[in-house]
Amino acid sequence: MGFKNSARKFDYLLFFSTMLIIALGILFIFSAVYHGKITSPLWSKQLIAVGLGLVLMFLAIVVNYQIFGQYGYYFYFFSLISLVLVLFLGKTVRGAQSWFVFSNFSIQPSEFAKIPFIFALSIYLSKNNRQIESLKTLIVPLLLTLIPMILILKQPDFGSAMMLLPVCLVMMFVGGAKSIYLLSFFLYVAITLGIPFLITYLSFHQDILINSVILKFITMAVTHWFQGIVFILVIVLVLAVIFYLLINFKFSVNFNNFIITSLLVVGGCISSCFVQNFFLRGYQKKRLLAFLDPQIDPLGAGYHIIQSKIAIGSGGFFGKGFLNGTQTQLGFLPEQHTDFILSVMAEEWGFFGAVLVIFLFFIIIWRGLKISMEARDMFGSFLAVGISCVFLFYTITNVGMVMGIMPITGLPLPLFSYGGSALVSGMIAIGLLLNIHLRRYTY
Amino acid sequence: MWQIKSNRIEYQKFKNRILLFLYFVVLVFFVLCLRLFQLQIINKQYFKEVSKENCIQILFQQAPRGAILDRKGDILADNRSAFSLLFSPLNLSDSDIEKSVDKINNILGEDKNKENFIQKISFQKRYPFTYSCLMRNIGRKKMFQFAEEKPNIPGINIQTETVRFYPRKNFASHVLGHIGEINSNELLKRRDECRQGNVVGKIGIEKVYDSELRGIEGGKQIEIDALGRELRVVREITPAKGKTLMLTIDNRLQVLAENALGDASGVVVILDPRNGEVLSLVSKPDFDSNIFTVPLNTKEWNHFFSSLEYPLLNRAIQAQYAPGSVFKILVTLAALEEKKVNLNDTVFCKGFLTCGREERVFRCWKRKGHGRQNLIQAVANSCDVYFYEMGLKMGVRNISDYARKFGLGEKTGIDLPSEKKGLVPSPEWKKKKIGDSWFDGDTLNFSIGQGYLLVTPLQMTNAVCAVVNGGKLYRPYIVKKVFDDKNNLIKEIKPYKIRDIKISDSTLKFIKKSLKETVEKGTGRGAYVENLSIGGKTGTAENPHGENHAWFICFTPVEDPQLVVCVLVEHGGSGGSVAAPVARKILQGAIPFLNEGKENKDVLKAGMENNGF
């Protein structure tokens, strides 16, 4: 593959969008830590990460990505090992034990684990594509997802762990898995997570709880054996009635569907009890729910949401000007150089700036999906879809979070927020996309 | 475009699903942009204002309260500098804070506040660069100790603030009143004037004239960051000191009166009958107004609010007593004016009178009886039987009409808060409240000032003023002049005459003569002062709950009265033996101040200069 040839096939739009996002990111990290004088070295540290990222990105472009198709599982195992190690050797920052600390820099293995995870899924899905419609084929990808997920949850980093699930679901979906399976799974997860959140939300809104016998009963059911069993029996009974009616009205539903649906719902209910009682801690649930009602956690997450919305809203169309945002410069905005970096931009450059960034992310995801359609092999296609998904879900959760329509999960805005590990792994991912694009006609 | 032919169908399906997913992506980004539009374009104005409020903080500075002076310009209430100990957690570690707290305790020398301090400090940690007040009013000595140790105790700061100060402590405390932090009820009533945390007058002049005394609050608008650090001052308004009040109180007479009453619980009121000025007003037990400038501790609280002594009660206007024989002044006047008695009418006092079908016995205070008495003797000896006869002749209506004319049963309207209005009974009142008809026996009691009749000492004094000045009922008042913060006179309160009461010269002359006789030869001999013409009347108010209250009201000089002095000693016993000697002490001391005339401007000015105005 000659250089000239490559230069013609290179995806300049994706590359320059990425670099523009990174440049804007550094600009606003500078603003976020400025506070009237240049004191913090954070923005220059980010610059070093960009340098390192460029090198690795170059490598990710040059090496034929199909190598990862062959050795991807090794990367996956290596990443799992690093995730286990960090639980023993890692340093705890902001309550999560997720950092390897070296003399003057630190690495967050969960950020890097995303790429091997996509490798493994892509390998499996492309090799077993013919059997994808059977339920058995879906078990392995779910296991491949669950293992790193549980390890990351252990740190605990709820946000990052949860991000793996939709990526897996979307990859299975585009791979051709039956929608009914994915929907069922989605239903299961929704029940598992939905009930604990419902209960937490209700515990802050006793007025609703008092007026509703059913909700009160659900609240009891999660912590009491007897009520729990009664609740499950009632659900099964309701489902049975529904199916009976459907069959009576000559819908073509068979008894197996009834069994499967019941198992799903009952299983979801049971696992929700585990989530409620063992996995999520009170403050985590509060944090995740605060976006619905900042009053739930007025001094913690609620405060963050309120201040972030004020920052964004007061920016107006053209913003208050670079380094002129009062919310940012006077320190009202929390986590301003990491999770809430977009609020800084929205305050200082206004609607114009925020839409620009959102649009750049759209370009990345759109190009990613386009590249997956043009890839020369299935592995490449899955890889590109996976990477696009990671960017998509991180962007949605972060942007949604700062605007107060998504829970506070503590996820950074990829390529934009401060954080070397996330930046480098993001740049490697973009490198891989460029790589797949570059080799689309190579046989 | 996977390059294996057999994959064609799969590829098509893959492509379709990718496209489907792409629609989802577009939709999601559209929603994000919509939300952004909502926040930044639609609700822009709202968030702009909120962000402005977020970083602008207003620090209020309470204005120094205006001073209160007596009629000669002596200071009764003013401000002094006090030192508050402030603490800020800054960026200190918990152990450093602990150490600082220990050192602070060492200097303050009391351990019990430690918990309190730590609680206050931990509360403050959210805004680590703002200061909270650990302790107010630490005293000059402690202040210097802290100032010396300041480098060794990180986080502390000393603030100077002005605190209300009453240099004469208990002096005229019921007139001056005291201050305290505003409570929620007061806040509700004065919402446009006061803020939470303001200091306002709670009783006395401090309360009634609070709006004048408090001045105009100043403040700073400062820009702060999220930690509460002050960045710059946007606007500053310096507070304006409150207005200065000059009272009618004469501090020399007040001192005399307070000393004369001593430790007894009771009241002394001295009025100027020529205009209604209150020259002194003593109510005992009293209190030190300074105590209330800092929050009370439990012991003080119990003393002031739940002890049976009721030290905060201004007995001169808030306590109601039967006037006893002092009331006979008004009864005599009424009888003479209504021509129900002649100066020469005599009654034989055998020590009691029987009345009604049941032949109830009404006794004279002198069990043996006074023998034959004419009117002047009856007044001087306070013969009850004579007044029983006279009261029966007049009837209840005449007596209560006159009592009301002289301001009994209604508030005098003095500029002090929570005045009681007393009670003048009548047959209608008795029917309504007690559900019984009026008997002659009630009239008998009424005519010697007992029974249902209730008056406040101030009312009774004021009524006597109106008698001796020939029928001019003034409204007693305490604040005479108001000065602004540059000592310009901005308001002078003129005497206010409530009504004129017709008293014939002969009646007035007789009353004065008989009251002078009382002091010279009668029951009021205890008040006799040589070379001073005094008229007065004793009274012993029957008290069903204990020892009788002793009354004495007198005026001097008889010919042209300048002072009316009322003494009431609670549970003192008989007026002649207990209250009259108190009055004598006051009158003796007051001799030099008589005929001083209206104070001239020079005296006033000199007084003010002496006090550093």
Q: Does A190 touch chain B (CB under 8 A)?
A: no
Of A22-26, A42-46, B370-374, where does the model show the most confidence? A22-26
Task: Write down the pLDDT at residue B604.
Answer: 47
Whether B46 and A374 lie within 8 Å, measured CB to CB: no
Question: For B64-69, what is the mean pLDDT?
Answer: 91
- Closest residue of chain B to A343, computed from CA coordinates: B36
Q: Does residue B1 belong to the interface with chain A, where contact is any CB pair within 8 Å?
A: yes
Residues B514 and B412 in one domain: yes
Which residue range forms the structural domain that includes residue B336?
253-296+311-593
Closest residue in chain B to residue A357, using alpha carbons only:
B33
**Shared-domain flag, residues B388 and B289:** yes
Q: Which of B2-16, B270-284, B520-534 is predicted most confidently?
A: B270-284
User: Mean pLDDT of all residues in chain A?
Assistant: 88
pLDDT tens digits, residue range B532-542? 899 999 999 88
Each residue's pLDDT tens digit, B420-477: 999 999 999 999 988 888 888 889 899 999 989 999 999 999 999 999 999 999 999 9
Better pLDDT: A67 or A4? A67
Alpha-helical segments (H) within B306-383: 315-318, 328-337, 375-381
Residue B283 sits in the same domain as residue B214: no
Region A289-312 average pLDDT: 81
pLDDT digits (tens, 9 = 90+) for B198-241: 888 999 999 999 988 988 888 777 777 766 667 777 778 888 88
Q: Which of B400-404, B460-464, B607-611 has the least mean pLDDT? A: B607-611
Domain ranges of chain A: 1-63+293-423
Question: Is the CB of A369 less than 8 angstroms away from the CB of B32?
Answer: no
Please tell me if residue B144 touches chain A, with a CB cutoff of 8 Å: no
Q: Which pLDDT score, from 0 to 100, does residue A1 have? A: 55
Do B137 and B294 contact (CB within 8 A), yes or no?
yes
The beta strands (E) that lie in B311-359 are given as 347-349, 352-355
CA gap B448, B539 in Å, rounded: 9
Residue B142 lies in a domain: yes
Instruction: Check CB contact of B231 with chain A, cutoff 8 Å.
Output: yes
Taking an 8 Å cut-off on Cβ atoms, the answer to whether A327 and B43 are in contact is no
Tell me, yes or no, if A204 comes closer than 8 A to chain B by beta carbon. Answer: no
The pLDDT tens digits of the residues spanning B8-56 come to 778 888 899 999 999 999 999 999 999 999 999 999 999 888 888 777 7
Q: Assign residue B320 the CATH number of its domain.
A: 3.40.710.10
Query: Is the CB of A316 less than 8 angstroms away from the CB of B55?
Result: no
Mutant choice from A182, A299, A314 vs B, greatest count of B C-beta within 10 A: A314
Residue B241's pLDDT is: 87
Task: Answer yes or no: do B235 and B274 share one domain.
Answer: no
Shared domain check, B172 and B273: no
Tokens, residue B424: 């003048």
Sign of the CA dihedral with B136 first, then B138, B140, and B142 last: negative
Strand B479-483 to strand B489-492: parallel, antiparallel, or no bridges (unpaired)? antiparallel
A363 vs B136, more confident: A363
Question: Which one of B17, B22, B40 has the shortest CB-CB distance to A316?
Answer: B40
**Tokens at A73, concatenated:** 């599982």
A369 contacts chain B (CB < 8 A): yes
In a mutagenesis test of the A interface, which of B36, B46, B230 is the best target, namely the one with the most A β-carbons within 10 Å? B36
Averaged pLDDT, A404-419: 91
Of the partner residues B3, B29, B126, the one whose CB lies closest to the CB of residue A376: B3
The reported pLDDT for the residue numbered B479 is 93
Average pLDDT across chain B, whole number: 85
Minimal Cβ distance to A314: which of B22, B35, B48: B48
The shortest CB-CB distance from A310 to any of B25, B54, B126 is to B54
Q: Does A366 touch chain B (CB under 8 A)?
A: yes
Confidence at A13, pLDDT banded by 50, 70, 90:
very high
CA distance B255 to chain A (A): 58
Could you read off the pLDDT of B51-66 as tens digits, one per residue?
A: 887 777 777 777 889 9
- Residue with the larger pLDDT of the pair B143 and A53: A53
Band (B601; pLDDT cuts 50, 70, 90): very low
* Mean pLDDT calculated for residue range B82-91: 75
Would the CB atoms of A377 and B2 count as touching at under 8 Å?
yes
pLDDT of residue B91: 65
**Domains of chain B: total:** 2
**What is residue B612's predicted lDDT score, i.e. its pLDDT?**
44
Q: Looking at residues A114-134, what average pLDDT do you find?
A: 92
Residues B578, B440: one domain?
yes
Query: Could A332 and B36 be called an inter-chain contact, meaning their C-beta atoms sit closer than 8 Å?
Result: no
Q: Does B216 touch chain A (CB under 8 A)?
A: no
CB contact (8 A) between residue A365 and residue B25: yes
Residues B531 and B477 in one domain: yes
Rounded mean pLDDT of A328-334? Answer: 81
Give the model confidence (pLDDT) of B551-572 as tens digits: 999 998 898 899 999 999 999 8
Contact A369 B18 (CB under 8 A): yes
Looking at the domain assignment, is residue B351 inside a domain? yes
**What ipTM goes with this model?**
0.92
Q: Does A123 touch chain B (CB under 8 A)?
A: no
Output the pLDDT for position B281. Answer: 94
Q: What is the pLDDT of residue A29?
A: 92
The verdict on B221 and B163 lying in the same domain is yes
What's the CATH code of the domain at B110? 3.90.1310.10
Residue B606: predicted pLDDT: 47
Contact A174 B223 (CB under 8 A): no
| Tokens read off for B292 | 């209330």
Alpha-helical segments (H) within A249-377: 255-274, 282-289, 301-315, 326-329, 341-374
Contact present, A309 and A339 (Cβ < 8 Å): no
Of B542 and A344, more confident:
A344
More confident residue, A248 or A67: A67
Together in a domain, B238 and B330: no
For residues A297 and A290, what is the distance between their CA atoms, to the nearest angstrom? 6
Query: Three-class SS of residue B248?
Result: coil
| Position A211 pLDDT exceeds 50 | yes
Q: Which long-range contacts (C-beta less than 8 Å, at least 24 apart) are formed by B30-34?
A: B32/A358, B32/A396, B32/A399, B32/A400, B32/A403, B33/A355, B33/A358
Quick one: what percent of chain B has pLDDT higher than 70? 91
